[in-house]
Structure 1
Amino acid sequence: MIRVENVSKQNSHRILFIEASATLQKGEKAGLVGPNGAGKTTLFRMIMQEEQPDEGQVSADRGITIGYFSQDVGDMAGRSAVTEVMDGAGPVSGVAAELRALEAAMTDPDQASDLDRIIERYGEVQARYEELDGYSLDGRAREVLSGLGFSDEMMDGDVGALSGGWKMRVALGRILLMRPDVMLLDEPSNHLDLESLIWLEEFLKGYEGALLMTSHDRAFMNRIVNKIVEIDGGSLTTYSGGYEFYEGQRALNEKQQQAQFERQQAMLAKEIKFIERFKARASHAAQVQSRVKKLEKIDRVEPPKRRQSVSFDFPPAPRSGDDVVSLKGVHKRYGERIIYEGLDFMARRRERWCVMGVNGAGKSTLLKLVAGAAEPDAGTVKVGGSVRLGYFAQHAMEVLEGDRTVFETLEDAFPQAGQGSLRTLAGCFGFSGDDAEKRCRVLSGGEKARLVMAKMLYDPPNFLVLDEPTNHLDMATKEMLIAALERYEGTMLFVSHDRHFLAALSNRVLEVTPEGVFQYGGGYTEYVARTGQEAPGLRH
């Protein structure tokens, strides 16, 4: 359905593709992987004809529909979320808008004199709406939005009042409702809570069209795709199977290529040694010439490309007391909405609590109460002796100084640290080379989040309170962070929608539900085994 044939592409001085080829066939679900900046979004844009290759061609079968979800959702305002989602379904959305306008006109006293004409037109429009299956479309749009975490009130409210993350969900909903022949999804798992993520997973498993998607969530990708297209050093390589199979196959291919390279190097060294030894002897001239010609004809094996693997050993955190934080009889409400009523909770040294709960259950509120960013209405929150608390939240990004560069920000925070150590730290969190000289004011939300994380973990506190720390991290950075936190000896309280992160790091689960707060011994994996569900909202 989609063909990329011998494509070369350069953006300013950066070469993205060199004679790269790949295909997406009917019914295939493919994951597009590669480091940040490798050209994943550029490939999507070339498929959509928004960019052209410098050489080669990108083509699609005639007459197919393509739905493209990107992180750039544009302006949305003045219409409801349902209307916005239905707009992706084609002409029916325009008919629906006229129907709503006529309904409003029928109840408008200023238009009473035109009522007969309005009613007549309403009948015509209503017939067309039924013909286009509009009434079931409204239901399907609401089903999609519900799956993506919208309440009825949010579905019918002005989409302009929503945050950027919720607008992303509306844009994603448009593509899902459209059910095109081919879906191109660029990071659809960003901005979703765990329940919505699992709903989307099931939706995409049942989708019968072709799918090409990127995602930094390995569990999500692994359950959906049946092939991987990797961008590496300008070429596209296709692997059959899921993400885990791809990782294993890539490692095996590299091992085999390295062995082949070493064998050839040993053979070449032996031949060159013979030539050097006997080139001056007339008696060996024919043999020397024969071997020189043989070397000229040999296809040289390249060593496998060395991927930059990021790793960083964070300094050990100082030891805290055994009782890290204690909440007793805590009440918290926002207006009429009761969040907590008599909450008791204790975290002890080296416990790693993941907080589970549906949107709005109070997960972030709990973290704010513990971190001192919010006060309880009643009850006490007591942090234990020798506890040094580090809190990662979205507002933490606002305290970065706009005129300072990334590197200067790290230098300001750690004046005693060596330049090499800080460069390594910056590189671990995605700021290598010139990126370390970017000023904070031009950083994206994701880059700011990574910089705040780097500052927090270089001189680690002994109690980490983390609210969605992996939202903006690519797979390599996420793996580095998980590896570092597995070695971390302090206490953790965190919220995350990344199941790999949850399973790797938690040893306790705190589940926040409308019926109350429940505590589970054992981590996320044990919680899933005990409850039979991957997220609390799926049980109700």
Structure 2
Amino acid sequence: MVLTLHDIRYTYPGSPAPALDGVSATFAKGWCGIVGDNGCGKSTLARIACGLLAPDAGSAFPCLTAVYCPQDASTSPDMLEDFSCDFSREAQRLRENLGIDDDMPWRFDSLSFGERKKIQVACALWQNPAVLALDEPTNHVDARCREALSHALERFRGIGLLISHDRALLNQLADRCLMNEAGSWTMRPGSYDQARNEQERERAEVSARKEAAKREAARLATEADARAHLAARTASRLSARRLDKHDSDGRSRRQLAVFSGKDGQAGRLATRMDARAARASEKAASIRVAKRYDGSLWMDARPHPRATLLFMEEHSIPCGEGQLRLPKLALGHTDHVGVSGPNGGGKSTLVRHLLRQLPVDVPALVIPQEVSRDEADRVLARLHDADEARRGRLLSFVTQLNSSAERILAGRDVSPGELRKLMLAEGALDGPALIVMDEPTNHLDLHSTEALEQALAAYPGALVVVSHDEAFLEACTTTRWIVDEGQVRVR
């Protein structure tokens, strides 16, 4: 059983450029990682593969049963009620392995995003489709849930499409990867690391070929210039204009050159060399090396003049059906705090409480886990309404996080990752004294995650980051608030 996409083209309404253009791929049983920068069309490709979008051109065949599990953790699965009422062996095994209590599906909207995500995946697996597309399945989930999810996905025996920024998950599940770079899609065998290494090797080879072609073009251009000067000097020597009318020897030499044909040889050689140089220059220009931002992203901000932004005595706050006990907590104007803990423990509750206690004179940038469609529309509207200078700075910031400025300007079909980058850019330009981000690596591609990690680590103000990504927290925070078992511990 295989699924084939042939010459797929798709353009979102109102967008001036296609999201996918001439994409072909064949998917066999097993997991295929779909990898690329935010906005390159990964989710669009998965929706077309599952029959949720009809391509403008091309085809997906044969028609197979398919389920698409979206990025958005707030979306309730279509078959949630059926899954909740099923007490078959398979349904109970999924709920048990993923830690889903019988009542959890019935209160989906009250669950944490991590708990909602594992219910989404469980419901998709329970349907046992021929084609299963998972879009960022480990967003929001803690380490324990991530491990349970990966084991459950290993047992899937159909055609699996895995869109993920989770390198460990891709390496564990995928035996091939469909990779996008600079608009080109290539299927490569092996795990993510193997496919990535092959991609980098090819990129290095192309880069080396381009540099060699540029050197050859420069050498030929120099030689062509020298030949042109020689031809000009030869023509000057053969000219009779400056020849004394009594110089019979000079006249004889000129006539001999005309007779032998050497009077035009230098010019013809110069012309041929010009043509060679032009061809070499065209060859160098035709070799395309995918561009990628590899520098450091700097956010122009400074710490708040007050050394302590917030201090809270020991107290408890409501959390779910219980209480969350807080110790004395202080947030300094340059502190970088990582908030971690299991799903449903109260991390987001703690952050919301912190923001309510924050003095009004502390400018803060707050980026939540999920962004509503209305808020996304407002962010895009502010971008389009901004003056030319501010819009340029916003798009420059986003470009440095490896997203296309042209695509973001094009319309409403920006990916969740692109939207979060734009929100970060918008807030960072206003010089916040505090940045609060809840699961900042959700929806971000791997390169964007690395760039954001470096930017936040260098941020001079206060930072509070909620994340399950331990490597990310270790890189950009220095203090840890651990939320677990109804209390907060400081480490």
Please report the TM-score for the alignment, with normalisation by the length of structure 2: 0.72
1:44 aligns with 2:80: no
1:467 aligns with 2:441: no
Residue of structure 1 equivalent to 2:7: 7
Aligned partners of 2:77 and 2:70: how far apart in 1? 18
RMSD, matched Cα:
4.8
| 2:83 corresponds to which of 75, 82, 85 | 85
Aligned partners of 1:458 and 1:360: how far apart in 2? 33
Residue of structure 1 equivalent to 2:463: 492
Q: Which has the larger radius of gyration?
A: 2
Change (3 A) 1:243 1:78: closer
1:169-215, CA deviations, whole angstroms, 9 ceiling, x for partnerless residues? 44422222244454322232335444433322233345455432112
> Counterpart of 2:82 in structure 1: which amino acid?
E
1:505-532, CA deviations, whole angstroms, 9 ceiling, x for partnerless residues? 1223222222743333xxxxxxxxxxxx
Aligned partners of 1:210 and 1:197: how far apart in 2? 21
Change (3 A) 1:502 1:224: farther
1:365 aligns with 2:349: yes
| Structure 2 residue runs without a partner (length 5+) | 232-262
| Structure 1 residue runs without a partner (length 5+) | 87-92, 97-133, 374-381, 521-540
Aligned partners of 1:325 and 1:32: how far apart in 2? 43
Residue of structure 2 equivalent to 1:407: 383
1:55-94, CA deviations, whole angstroms, 9 ceiling, x for partnerless residues? 766445x9x7654334589986998x4x4337xxxxxx8x
Structure 1 residue 450, shift from structure 2 partner: 4.3
Aligned partners of 2:114 and 2:93: how far apart in 1? 22
Residue of structure 1 equivalent to 2:180: 231
What is the correspondence of 1:273-284 to structure 2 with a 5 Å cutoff? 277=227, 281-282=264-265
| 2:201 corresponds to which of 231, 237, 252 | 252
Residue of structure 2 equivalent to 1:307: 291
Structure 1 residue 473, shift from structure 2 partner: 3.6
Structure 1 residue 4, shift from structure 2 partner: 4.2
Structure 1 residue 363, shift from structure 2 partner: 1.4
1:421 aligns with 2:399: no
Contact 1:67-1:175 within 8 A present in 2 as well: yes
Residue of structure 1 equivalent to 2:36: 34
Secondary structure, aligned partner of 1:227: strand
1:327 aligns with 2:312: yes
| 1:152 corresponds to which of 102, 105, 125 | 102
Residue of structure 1 equivalent to 2:302: 317
Contact 1:6-1:56 within 8 A present in 2 as well: yes
Structure 1 residue 166, shift from structure 2 partner: 6.3
Aligned partners of 2:356 and 2:277: how far apart in 1? 74
Residue of structure 2 equivalent to 1:140: 93
Change (3 A) 1:42 1:5: same
What is the correspondence of 1:191-270 to structure 2 with a 5 Å cutoff? 191-270=140-219
> Counterpart of 1:47 in structure 2: which amino acid?
A
| 1:24 corresponds to which of 27, 30, 37 | 27
Change (3 A) 1:234 1:183: same
Structure 1 residue 495, shift from structure 2 partner: 0.9
> Counterpart of 2:382 in structure 1: which amino acid?
V
Secondary structure, aligned partner of 2:151: helix
Aligned partners of 2:463 and 2:488: how far apart in 1? 18
Between the two proteins, what is the percent identity of the paired residues?
Answer: 25
Aligned partners of 2:385 and 2:329: how far apart in 1? 36
Residue of structure 2 equivalent to 1:352: 336
1:12-45, CA deviations, whole angstroms, 9 ceiling, x for partnerless residues? 7535556554443444x32112234433234324
Residue of structure 1 equivalent to 2:256: none
Aligned partners of 2:422 and 2:5: how far apart in 1? 39
1:239-285, CA deviations, whole angstroms, 9 ceiling, x for partnerless residues? 34443444444333222212212223333454566678389844897
